[in-house]
């Protein structure tokens, strides 16, 4: 996700726990002592539950749900993209992460999005082969299943294959997103054939089948991840990138991806970002996602205030200002750790947070702030260069997040994406899945830590989070929304932990997203509210995008042993949360 403020990274949050099947309905909150699911896709929920009912664990169910979401919600996620998975292993009482973010093809240079020294048009960059990164999702699923699952690809992909073959009923949201992408989809013959009818979006109520995606899943089920990264499917991906299947005389930028780029792709098992906040241990995604570090830094800053005792407007003012400071540091320092020696230890330091806290005026919003110097708060001070301030790059916002928990206490918090709604717009001919436009998450020009380089993973904002208290899972949270993912996760944690709001109220509260700009992004209708007027007294100014901010989902592990699954109560068409009684 890259470049200023387009916020909506379609992040589905799926929360699963286990056992006997239930009829699904749009109930955004459910509490019980057994299994639970909260997702925007009933089909994905059914797939996950089917796997759990067959004895699969949370990792197995997560892959099953994710594969089905690739069918029913293909504009935000799928095997043509990548993601970040945070896993709590109950038996070992530890958290690990799987980074399967897309990588830049070996042909990439820092000038790939420049012409005559100037940045190319962003939208033209999106709808192109040049925007496509080497997909990591299938390799990530492979690592998750091999290391931490109990089932194989054949078992967990079976539900998604069934949905792709039989089809699903197009919702109004699906149809709306297709209409939003008509111009992009019209440029590619394979995409038009799948999602358009006579050049126009499929209408709500249409039964949509995707036999080509079923074919792709069947090949992966039979041959494992090698079916994707080698052989006919890999060749089809490379051909689609380098010679996009254009229609109607469209002209788009080709890419330069090779079969070796696919064959050489590796997922990374990384240690999570670990921080503390008011008695909770928070586990988030490390670089190349900036989500974990930025949320942790902002919470460290806020920890110095007694937010509970303050008037709400004063506390929310501090939330906005802490976010502003953390984003200044994020933009200055964070990128792929294999290319940039980012000062993560300094950024996570409580002492650094105390220093940054001094920049906050309790009564007045800052216009914008400069990055701090975290190098002074870690042992390694060997990097003398300091970044120069630059405007924040545009970052698309369409991703999918879900969280899963099983009867044994394992938990998965998973965010994956193809970047923009509909990714690059290119459906791989014969295989039915959209390719990402993740390379537009790089900064188009430098010098900056997040410039394009061969093999590099673009910086992300995805922030799948698992919170523990007294060594046991307390809650999970995650969202879509590009760079607003960070503020959605941060604000929800503050609402739940500091303001004592039940998780459903914490999620449904109006979202305010401050990313060190002259204005704060808010949701439609907020600007005229009493809450907005109170914050305007501190000098905050509003930017009101046309769309909602994020689509969060969560699981809360209650002290009495029950579980509450929480989805959106009003955004994204309202989510579905279910909890089942455990079989005895």
* Catalytic center residues: 399
Q: Which contacts of 162-165 are long-range, i.e. CB under 8 A and separated by 24 or more positions?
A: 163/43, 163/47, 163/68, 163/71, 163/72, 164/71, 164/209, 164/210, 164/211, 164/213, 164/214, 164/217, 164/432, 165/209, 165/211, 165/214
Structure tokens at 315: 């506390």
- Nearest 5°: the CA angle 298, 301, 303 is 110
Closest by Cα among 509, 415, 409 to 468? 409
Scan for tokens 């039940």, then name that residue.
502
Give the DSSP letter of residue 459: P
Rg (C-alpha) for the chain, rounded Å, is 22
Closest by Cα among 478, 446, 437 to 461? 478
Q: Please answer whether residues 46 and 74 qualify as being in contact, where contact means their C-beta atoms are separated by less than 8 angstroms.
A: no
Q: Please answer whether residues 494 and 307 qualify as being in contact, where contact means their C-beta atoms are separated by less than 8 angstroms.
A: yes
Residues 6+ apart with CB under 8 A from 198: none
Kind of pairing, strands 411-417 and 82-89?
antiparallel
Q: Please answer whether residues 523 and 551 qualify as being in contact, where contact means their C-beta atoms are separated by less than 8 angstroms.
A: no
Residue 512 dihedral angles phi and psi, to the nearest 5° = -120, 125
Query: Could you give the 3-state DSSP secondary structure of residue 273?
Result: strand
Residues 6+ apart with CB under 8 A from 466: 86, 88, 95, 282, 283, 403, 411, 413, 473, 476
Q: Please answer whether residues 88 and 414 qualify as being in contact, where contact means their C-beta atoms are separated by less than 8 angstroms.
A: no
Cβ neighbours of 555 (radius 10 Å): 31
């Amino acid at each position: 996700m890259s470049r200023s403020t387009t916020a909506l990274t379609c992040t589905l949050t799926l929360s699963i726990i286990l056992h006997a099947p239930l009829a699904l309905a749009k109930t955004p909150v459910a509490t019980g002592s057994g299994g639970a699911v909260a997702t925007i896709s009933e089909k994905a929920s059914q797939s996950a539950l089917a796997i759990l009912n067959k004895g699969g664990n949370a990792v197995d169910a997560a892959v099953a749900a994710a594969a089905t979401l690739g069918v029913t919600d293909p504009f935000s996620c799928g095997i043509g993209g990548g993601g970040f998975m945070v896993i709590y292993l109950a038996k070992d009482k530890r958290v690990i992460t799987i980074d399967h973010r897309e990588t830049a093809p070996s042909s990439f240079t820092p000038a790939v999005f420049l012409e005559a020294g100037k940045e190319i048009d962003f939208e033209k960059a999106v709808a192109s082969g040049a925007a496509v990164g080497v997909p990591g999702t299938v390799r990530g699923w492979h690592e998750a299943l091999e290391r931490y699952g109990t089932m194989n690809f054949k078992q967990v992909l079976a539900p998604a294959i069934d949905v792709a073959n039989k089809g699903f009923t197009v919702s109004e949201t699906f149809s709306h997103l297709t209409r939003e992408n008509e111009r992009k989809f019209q440029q590619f013959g394979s995409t038009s054939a799948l999602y358009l009818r006579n050049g126009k979006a499929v209408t709500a109520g249409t039964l949509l089948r995707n036999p080509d995606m079923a074919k792709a899943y069947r090949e992966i089920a039979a041959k494992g991840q090698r079916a994707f990264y080698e052989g006919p499917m890999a060749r089809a991906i490379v051909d689609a990138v380098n010679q996009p299947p254009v229609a109607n005389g469209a002209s788009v930028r080709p890419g330069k991806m090779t079969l070796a780029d696919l064959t050489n792709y590796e997922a990374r098992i990384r240690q999570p970002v670990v921080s503390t906040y008011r008695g909770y241990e928070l586990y988030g995604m490390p670089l190349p996602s900036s989500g974990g570090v930025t949320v942790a830094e902002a919470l460290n800053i806020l920890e110095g205030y007694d937010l509970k005792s303050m008037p709400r407007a004063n506390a929310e003012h501090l939330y906005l200002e802490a976010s502003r400071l953390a984003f200044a540091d994020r933009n200055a320092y964070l990128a792929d750790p294999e290319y940039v020696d980012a000062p993560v230890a300094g950024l996570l330091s409580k002492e650094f947070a105390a220093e940054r806290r001094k920049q906050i005026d309790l009564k007045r919003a800052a216009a914008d702030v400069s990055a701090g110097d975290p190098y002074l708060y870690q042992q390694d001070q060997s990097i003398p260069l300091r970044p120069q301030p630059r405007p924040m790059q545009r970052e698309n916002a369409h991703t999918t997040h879900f969280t899963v928990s099983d009867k044994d206490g394992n938990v998965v918090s998973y965010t994956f994406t193809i970047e923009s709604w509909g990714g690059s717009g290119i459906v791989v001919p014969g295989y039915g899945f959209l390719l990402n436009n993740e390379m537009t998450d790089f900064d188009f020009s430098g010098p900056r830590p997040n410039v394009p380089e061969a093999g590099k993973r673009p910086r992300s904002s995805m922030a799948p989070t698992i919170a523990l208290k007294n060594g046991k899972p307390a809650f999970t949270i995650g969202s879509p929304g590009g760079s607003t993912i960070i503020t959605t996760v941060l604000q929800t944690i503050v609402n739940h932990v500091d303001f004592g709001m039940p998780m459903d109220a914490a999620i449904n509260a109006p979202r305010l997203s401050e990313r060190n700009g002259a204005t704060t992004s808010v949701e439609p209708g907020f600007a005229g509210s009493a809450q907005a007027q109170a914050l305007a007294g501190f000098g905050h100014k509003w930017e009101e995008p046309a769309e909602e901010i994020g689509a969060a989902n969560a699981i809360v592990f209650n002290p009495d042993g029950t579980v509450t699954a929480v989805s959106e109560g009003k955004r994204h068409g309202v989510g579905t949360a279910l909890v089942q009684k455990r079989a005895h």
